[in-house]
Amino acid sequence: MSKSILHKAATRGHANHGWLNSFHTFSFADYYNPERVHFGALRVLNDDTVEAGMGFGTHPHDNMEIISIPLEGDLEHKDSMGNVSVIKHGDIQVMSAGTGIRHSKYNKNTDKRVKFLQIWVFPNKKNVEPRYDQITLNMEDRHNQFQQILSPDPDDAGVWIHQNAWFYLSKFDKGVATEYNLKASGNGVYAFILSGDVTINGQELNARDGFGIWEVDQLTVTAESEAEFLFMEVPMGELD
């Protein structure tokens, strides 16, 4: 019997700092909910909007896999490994913080906002050498199908992390229905709906809703409208 958890968009944690408007699916910073600390290895899912010319000053991380997915605008990245880059819609960025890294993220533009997802995944190896990578995706490859954007395998599609996890982005036309088969036993899937309306295993979901499901081998997915969504398959570990 599958298990699931539903996080409606309006129930997320919220912090508006003026320069940053952030919605937290899981406990983060000043938002703490003991029932929403993580979903298996998925630790953070922040839905962030950064005002023009503003950003996150230099700050440290360690022993975490950090994924950034821009949804709108351009995000400038600088880190202690000497990387300076700009990521935009259609790109995905990954950092293995490992033994420790310092970085900053700023809205590259002074005339428009940047919107992006910040995702943290617990690694399966600690104290690895810090690593940075970013790629540009072909967004046509997610039309009515699952576009793999992340995996555990450096030679597979997308970026890779130190965890038995797979991420997919999809953009479905209304009425498209398909199935998703989990890659590894003991994993679960956390779905985050970017836009539109989707039904997953009978659960109706709307924009910015999150839905986690585990102890299941296959999901049925139907787009009730034109819809875009992110699937994050992660090990569940000690999660009940």
State the CB neighbour count (10 A cutoff) for residue 157: 16
Of 141 and 83, more confident: 141
- For 139-235, which CATH class? mainly beta
Task: Tell me how far apart the alpha carbons of residues 230 and 226 are, in angstroms, rounded to a whole number.
Answer: 14
Contact 226, 196 (CB under 8 A): yes
CATH second-level architecture of 13-136?
Sandwich (2.60)
Contact 7, 208 (CB under 8 A): no
For the segment 185-224, what is each residue's pLDDT rounded down to a tens digit?
A: 999 999 999 999 999 999 999 999 999 999 999 999 999 9
For the segment 1-59, what is each residue's pLDDT rounded down to a tens digit?
A: 899 999 999 999 999 999 999 999 999 999 999 999 999 999 999 999 999 999 888 89
Query: Bridge partners of 20?
Result: 50
pLDDT given for residue 57 in this prediction: 86
pTM: 0.96
Rg from Cα positions in the chain: 17
For the segment 129-149, what is each residue's pLDDT rounded down to a tens digit?
A: 999 999 999 999 999 999 999
Give ranges for CATH 2.60.120.10 in the chain. Answer: 13-136, 139-235
For the segment 168-193, what is each residue's pLDDT rounded down to a tens digit?
A: 999 999 999 999 999 999 999 999 99
Query: Bridge partners of 204?
Result: 199
For the segment 96-119, what is each residue's pLDDT rounded down to a tens digit?
A: 999 999 989 989 899 999 999 999
